[in-house]
């Protein structure tokens, strides 16, 4: 039980730390925003530079089953192995 409590505390601490780091990084990135001309966009036009999700249909389905925050609707209910 004590081990469970420590794991939960550690997970929460990591989550808080990661949230703060992401926030600072995002603010820093916006502040550093530069104007990019159309002829300079060869690299960002690559398919793997898209801001859309790169995961396939099945991987998205697995995520919606495994993560309570993503879990909503039919995709999450199907394949969860739950009643």
Cβ-contact 59, 73 below 8 angstroms: no
Distance CA 26, CA 31 (A): 9
Coil/strand/helix, residue 71: coil
By CB under 8 A, the count of residues binding other proteins is: 55
Q: How far is the CB of 3 from other proteins (least distance, A)?
A: 10
> Which residues of this chain interact with other proteins, rule CB under 8 A?
4, 7-8, 11-12, 14-15, 18-19, 22, 25-26, 29-30, 32-38, 40-41, 43-44, 46, 48-51, 54, 56-59, 61-62, 65-69, 71-83
């Amino acid at each position: 039980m004590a081990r469970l409590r420590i794991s939960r505390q550690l997970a929460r601490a990591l989550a808080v730390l990661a949230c703060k780091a992401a926030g600072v990084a995002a603010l820093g990135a916006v502040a550093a925003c530069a104007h990019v001309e159309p002829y300079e966009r060869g690299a960002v036009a690559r398919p793997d530079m898209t801001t859309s999700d790169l995961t396939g249909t099945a991987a998205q389905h697995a995520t919606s089953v495994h993560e309570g925050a993503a879990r909503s609707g039919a995709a999450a209910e199907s394949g969860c192995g739950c009643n």
